[in-house]
Structure 1
């Protein structure tokens, strides 16, 4: 596990990007609760590192992020593209230790 940031660095309803071992990881905090998700930051359709800046949504209890480019939605729990299930981004385990956010690669 790698220390990525502090919980207070992620405002509820937003995401941040952390560089961990040369990989850009998008870390999301969809609500004011301490539930966190981590997926790859690169939009696989445009090879642009932008997912951490996407809009977070929720449907039937599952959170997703819409890419700021063309709005493809990626499920936060596993990185699956909801608009094209043949495409996904990496998903990473997240642990909260006190107020520190740790990511497993």
Structure 2
């Protein structure tokens, strides 16, 4: 993905009014282009599994901005570590030693 497109998505969220940060369709488009844009979305959408999955599939590190409840969701965690194995530090403790998660992150169990 072109770096300028990613930056544009983040900029759009930064300058967006509160209603845009809560607009699921708008937010989905932004996080699909730049998962890190999850940092700027309304808290209510950081608990939305569809939004968070889209973000971590694009950029695993976006997991750090996800609601705690989704950091312990195995599907979300697997998507994040498959994209970037270095995100284990943001994974809920209950899954840090899960064999499937560890293997997906490219580590030895």
**What's the TM-score once normalised by structure 2's chain length?**
0.27
Q: Whose strand fraction is larger, Structure 1's or Structure 2's?
A: 1
Larger RCO (CA under 8 A, 6+ residues apart): 1
**What's the TM-score once normalised by structure 1's chain length?**
0.28
User: Higher Cα Rg: structure 1 or 2?
Assistant: 2
Q: Whose helix fraction is larger, Structure 1's or Structure 2's?
A: 2
